[in-house]
Structure 1
Amino acid sequence: MTPDLTGAHWFKSSRSHASGECVEAAHLPGGQVAVRDSKQAPDGPILLFPGPAWDTFTTALRAGTFDQS
């Protein structure tokens, strides 16, 4: 099922570069989060994540869980 992205408010990480070429996300009605590549394919495929899974992922990022030593 393709989500209705009409009116989706896409946002970039505060750590994004000034060039504006990065990953964007949008919170959708129903709690899903859509993610797209604004550099390579802004009108291309969208990844969808359940809201709780996205929250777990972003919490792990902030905690440094994926940092390489």
Structure 2
Amino acid sequence: MAGHRIFQFSFATIYPLYVAKVERKGRSRAEVDQVICWLTGYDESGLRRAVSDGVDMEGFFAAAPAMNPNASSSPA
């Protein structure tokens, strides 16, 4: 999927869109953060740093501390 146009956007642009969408559905920013941390291995400070540094989505995932090995598992 490398080269997809979404990877050109900054994480700081996409992250608030994720948050807004889940909040419209009655969920919270903390839940978004929990899922992103589970998926990527980032901690709270790493997420905040990615937003403030303006890293693009490709760089965000490339620098992920530990992608969860179960990320591609389909639900049971």
**Structure with the larger RCO, 1 or 2 (CA within 8 Å, 6+ apart):** 2
> Normalising to structure 1: TM-score of the pair?
0.29
| More helix, by proportion | 2
| More strand, by proportion | 1
